[in-house]
Chain A
Amino acid sequence: MIMTSVKLTPLARIELCAPPQPNMSSRMNSTTTKIPPDENELITKLMRGDDQAFRQLIAQHHSLMLSIARAIAGDTFADDVVQEAWVSVYKNIASFERRSSLKTWLLTIVSNQAKARLRKESRQVSLDQLDGEVPGSYLDGAHFKADGHWQQPIPQWNTESPEALLEERQLQCCINRTLNLLPPAQKAAFILRDIEQQSFDDICKILTVSATNVRVLVHRARLTLMQVIDRYQETGSC
């Protein structure tokens, strides 16, 4: 029996499931492209001071920036930090030199803003102190015999078809909810790696953690989500 091991932090937010989004797949495709084809056009508009383009920028990236700010500066300051970041973006967009993608530039700004805030509040940067082994997770020693073999067989899934699993609304709900309950550093590392497809090098710089720790954070997030699917396959709910 494997327990789902989502660590509930006091600040974690449970977000209700959004209504089904019919065009989700096409939307996801457009956001995972590293440099969208229409980015140059958007940048040109932004540099001209087009307010509508700026609002589009906010709509596209605010949520990601908030996740980064939460991971670095914590929930208390995250909203403030992102607001400050937008001010900085607005003031500096005219001198954006296109040496990186727009997204990387935004992430760098919010990351710097969050670190500055943390220094100002003279709080310790705690990202590198990873949360340790979560009891019940797949990496918990209790899952293994003394010789390193699995204590129990890995649970079978009724379906292993990604297409079929992607059709399951309830499962989508469970995964989204779990992601929002992950420790902020795990959530940010997972989003940057698996959704935004950023390189490990860039993630290290954005979150200021070592490459090893980025990998550990991403691995832990994936394992927690895997246990959500284990549980869903067994019980049909989260």
Chain B
Amino acid sequence: MLSCKQVAAVASDYLDNNTPLKWQIRLHLLMCANCRRFVRHLKITRDISAKIVGEDASVNTDVIWKNLQAQLKKEKLPDRE
């Protein structure tokens, strides 16, 4: 029988379907309300965080593009001389 501590440690693997302990974890969850809540909350966390976390709105494409052009120009100069 797994302990709560062991279940907590592999809960993400369980959610990602990435653990050989799947049935042992299920058995524990059947009997342990705390771990059921823990796993449920972890799943909600994973699912909503992925939706909330947006791309960094602060990317300044113009600056990056200009730096890129400047770098390319710098690298080309020696060829021309």
Q: Which residues of chain A have a CB within 8 Å of any CB of chain B? A: 15, 18, 21, 24-25, 27-28, 31-32, 51, 54-55, 58-60, 62-64, 66, 83, 86-87, 90-91, 138-139, 141, 143-144, 147-150, 153-154, 156-157, 160, 162, 165-166, 171-172, 175-176, 179, 190-191, 194-195, 200, 215, 218-219, 222-223, 225-226, 229-230
Contacts and interface: CB of A to CB of B under 8 A. Distances in A.
Given A139-B8, A153-B34, A179 B53 contact: yes
A157 B56 CA distance: 29
B27 to A, nearest CB: 15
Interface string B10-21: 011100101000
A150 B4 contact: yes
B interface SS class = helix
24 contacts: A15-B58, A18-B54, A21-B57, A24-B51, A27-B55, A54-B65, A62-B56, A64-B55, A83-B67, A91-B72, A139-B9, A141-B5, A143-B5, A143-B8, A144-B8, A147-B3, A148-B5, A157-B41, A190-B49, A215-B12, A219-B9, A222-B12, A222-B45, A226-B45
Given A63-B55, A148-B4, A175 B49 contact: yes
Given A156-B37, A157-B41, A165-B44, A58 B4 contact: no
Nearest to A200: B18
B59 interface: yes
A106 to B, nearest CB: 13
B33 to A, nearest CB: 8
A154 B46 contact: no
A82 to B, nearest CB: 8
B49 to A, nearest CB: 5
Range of interface residues on chain B?
A: 35 or more
B50 interface: yes
B45 A148 contact: no
A226 B41 contact: yes
Contacts of B71: 83, 87
A222 B37 contact: no
Given A138-B8, A144-B4, A176 B68 contact: no
Nearest to B55: A63
A92 B66 CA distance: 18
B47 interface: yes
B68 A86 contact: yes
